[in-house]
Amino acid sequence: MYPALAAVAGLKQKPEALLWVGSIGGMEEALVQRAGLPFEAIPAGGLRGKNPLTIIKNLISLGQGYRRSRQLIRQFQPDVLFMTGGYVGVPVTLAARRAGVPVVIYLPDIEPGLAIKFLARFADRVAVTAVEAQQYFKPGLTVVTGYPVRADLTAAASRPDRARQDARRRLGLSDDLPVLLVFGGSRGARSINRAVTAHLVEHLRQAQVLHITGSLDAAWVQICRQELPPTLQARYQVWPYLHEQMVSALLAADLVISRAGASVLGEFPAAGLPAILVPYPYAGAHQKVNAEYLAQNGAAIIIEDANLQIQLKETVQQLWANPQKLQAMRAAGQKLAQPQAAARLAQVVVEVGTNGN
């Protein structure tokens, strides 16, 4: 979602020259419209790990999405389709290929999911975040662009100390204590939320905590906050989700506890943010591969979901006690940052749209 928005911004096209196609009921509609882009929703559904009735229902949805995609392509007459994954991309990509529209796919993760693995055969070019992702595609198809991040995050990287101070001021955080960011995605990560709140007092004695709980857990985490003494409440911010302020949260933090979705490959390095990554264990292996990429490059530590309650508190305390380790992780992450990724990806889209290959 966010890398696509960053790449679209790099295209420097007028909104009327763009059409964003997303899924019905997806959270992207509000974000896309907030960015001033036209949006069309189509039916789509996944087929992996579903019961037979759900598979039949989703196959019908994919068929409906394909027909609607063909209508949109006939009406809009695009020069190129830019697709970033997800099941909504299946009907759109097939319709584009049927209409002779060239296709650029961007893979934000290191390892492709089922949709991109299937659709890569129809692509003119596949852009990838890192060299390690090229092994999953036929030779000559891929180009390494890096992970596009929001422009304000890229701009802050040139003045990290000032950016951190400004971000803390915007969020009402002090400079006296380190900042721990806890983030599980838009819906949250219950296992992470429970592991953090189980030792909340200990965390707050050492740091300020900015806890993005996701929409499902916000209410009970707020209750945990209300039960704290006032001095610790002042150090603990609870948010269901952050949009515009997410960049400030990344810049303000000294350490993040997070799932390992694709955004960790771009946003954490851009912010120079050391990470404790907890790959989601029920969504294929791509989060684990993402986490291993950052860990092998020295920018993250991995804790398996099943071990959170046992290992998380101790791991956080060890890092607070070892600022040299945190600084080394920060420097390692910064080496992975690619601030020109959005411009590179936009250029790939323009070239394929202009040349047709």
The pTM of the whole model exceeds 0.75: yes
Q: Do 30 and 168 lie in a common domain?
A: no
Phi/psi at 6 (nearest 5 deg)? -65, -40
Tell me the three state secondary structure of residue 237: strand
Which residue bears the tokens 């027909």? 67
User: Residue 310 belongs to what domain range?
Assistant: 151-336
- Could you tell me if 133 and 112 are in contact, meaning their C-beta atoms sit under 8 angstroms apart? yes
Q: Do 21 and 131 lie in a common domain?
A: yes
Long-range CB contacts (within 8 A, 24+) of 314-317: 315/276, 316/180, 316/203, 316/206, 316/255, 316/257, 316/276, 317/202, 317/206
Q: Do 266 and 344 lie in a common domain?
A: no
Q: Do 157 and 117 lie in a common domain?
A: no
> How many Cα atoms are found within 13 Å in the side-chain-facing hemisphere of 172?
8
Q: Do 254 and 166 lie in a common domain?
A: yes
| Spatial distance between the Cα atoms of 41 and 20, rounded to a whole number of angstroms | 9
Q: Do 10 and 159 lie in a common domain?
A: no
CATH number at residue 83: 3.40.50.2000
- Could you tell me if 159 and 177 are in contact, meaning their C-beta atoms sit under 8 angstroms apart? no
Q: How far is CA 356 from the centre of its chain?
A: 29
Q: Do 187 and 292 lie in a common domain?
A: yes
Q: What is the pLDDT along the chain (357 residues), one digit of tens a residue?
A: 788 888 888 887 788 899 999 888 767 788 888 888 999 998 876 666 566 777 777 788 889 999 999 999 999 999 999 999 878 899 999 999 999 999 999 999 999 988 899 999 999 999 999 999 999 999 999 999 999 998 889 888 778 889 999 999 999 999 999 999 999 876 679 999 999 999 999 999 999 999 999 988 999 999 999 999 999 999 999 999 888 799 999 999 999 999 999 999 999 999 999 999 999 988 667 899 999 999 999 999 999 999 999 999 999 999 999 999 999 999 999 999 999 999 999 999 999 999 865
A 10 A CB-CB count for 54 gives: 13
| Spatial distance between the Cα atoms of 207 and 193, rounded to a whole number of angstroms | 17
Q: 99: closest CA among 63, 64, 70, 68?
A: 70
Q: Do 66 and 177 lie in a common domain?
A: no
Phi/psi at 179 (nearest 5 deg)? -120, 125
Q: Do 160 and 180 lie in a common domain?
A: yes
Q: Specify burial of residue 133 (Cβ count, 10 A radius: 0-12, 13-18, 19+).
A: buried
Q: Do 39 and 157 lie in a common domain?
A: no
DSSP β-bridge partners for residue 212: 183, 239
Q: Do 345 and 321 lie in a common domain?
A: no
Give me the number of domains the chain comprises: 2
Q: Do 80 and 176 lie in a common domain?
A: no
Region for 198 from its dihedrals, namely left if φ exceeds 0, alpha if ψ lies in -120 to 50, beta otherwise:
alpha
End-to-end CA distance of the chain: 24
